[in-house]
Amino acid sequence: MRIPTNIITGFLGTGKTTAILNLLKEKPENDNWAVLVNEFGEIGIDGALMTEQGALIKEVPGGCMCCAAGVPMSVALTALLRTNPDRLIVEPTGLGHAHKVLATLTSSQFKDYIDLRATIGLVDPRNLSVDKYLQNTNFNDQLAISDIIIGNKVDECHVSDIDTFNDWVTDQSPPKIFSQLVKQGRFPIELLDSQRRDQSVQDEVESHHHEHAEMEPQFQLPPNQTYIRKENKGQGYFSCGWIFGAEVVFNFDDLFSVLSDLTAERVKGVLNTSNGCFAFNVSNGVVSVNEMSLEGFESRLEVIDSQLLPWEQLESVLKRISNIETL
């Protein structure tokens, strides 16, 4: 049986966590739900609290599920599907590429197991008047793939924000199948069973995104290379990503120290270390570490900041604290 599945997306601070907690409180008592989320610090999902609401939680570390941690997403998704839940909720990070999550869920790997229903996008109506958001590719892509738009935090909005939201929804082409203004992330649970729009809508989103391929942080390690580095820039940010062969092992203590000292706005990685494979997240100067049950995994690290950082210097340090020089 294919599992009814919904993506609940939205940019940072739109209230996705609160919305999911509300849905879990309202789910049928005998239903078993599963939730797949990013554990990046900005999300702020309390896995223990969700479990208490009767859901099986799986967290994918490392930022955007389909970028630095694409393999862990597939592993976590497969593990959840094997529990045969009555419903699956997928929440990408607010900084992630929601269309990639959509592509994964509709891929040949999962199409026989997932019945993808409407994607629900949350937005703070006030953000629809701010260039910082309107010019952000991820912000726009998240709203573009959404079949249903929920304008959250209406109780904090001015009447002009509400007018802007209504005008924005009216102008959407193709039109959204439903929209609603709410507070505290509360929307009818029945919306989860709404059907997706025609598949061609998603094709248009995918085609549009590829026009920005130069900002993609995902890349592959060429044969006979120990590591590669790729730099990107866009949306007011500079990024640098590395991928290291499975044979590269980092000294855990040295790596933790290096990541702790980084002043970048966002650091994410899944790396093989002397203590095993770990996911590293750095948010607000705090390093979070989670052990991964992966073998033969190609390590990935991505650093993002609004300023151009000395990537060469950082790369030299990464080489020094690993076994690259002896390979």
What pLDDT is stored for residue 151 in this prediction? 97
Give the pTM.
0.62
Q: What is the pLDDT of residue 53?
A: 65
pLDDT confidence of residue 199? 58
Please say whether the structural domain 219-326 has been given the CATH code 3.30.1220.
yes
pLDDT of amino acid 248: 95
How much is the pLDDT for 22?
92
Tokens of 76: 């976590």
What residue ranges of the chain have pLDDT lower than 50?
A: 39-46, 48-49, 61-63, 68-69, 200-219
Q: Which amino acid is at 108?
A: S
- Predicted local confidence at residue 116, as pLDDT: 95
Query: What's the confidence (pLDDT) of residue 68?
Result: 42
Closest C-alpha to 9, from 126, 103, 102, 109: 102
Which superfamily is assigned to 3-212 in CATH?
Answer: P-loop containing nucleotide triphosphate hydrolases (3.40.50.300)
Contacts for 79 with CB less than 8 Å, ≥ 6 apart:
58
What is the length of the chain?
A: 327
Hey, how many other C-beta atoms are within 10 angstroms of the C-beta on 284? 7
Measuring CA to CA, which residue among 123, 77, 81, 79 is closest to residue 101? 77
Strand ordering across the sheet containing 286-291: 227-234, 237-244, 299-305, 266-273, 276-283, 286-291
Where are the chain's structural domains? 3-212, 219-326
Query: Do residues 50 and 22 lie in contact, with contact meaning Cβ atoms separated by under 8 Å?
Result: no
Q: Are 179 and 149 in contact, with CB atoms under 8 Å apart?
A: yes
For residue 121 the two structure tokens come to 């996008």
CA distance 228 to 239: 14
pLDDT, position 234:
58
Q: Tell me the per-residue pLDDT of 171-218, one tens digit each, with 9 for 90 and over.
A: 999 999 999 999 989 999 999 999 998 654 444 444 333 333 333 334
From residue 270, give the alpha-carbon distance in Å to each of 99, 156, 241, 250. Answer: 22, 38, 12, 11
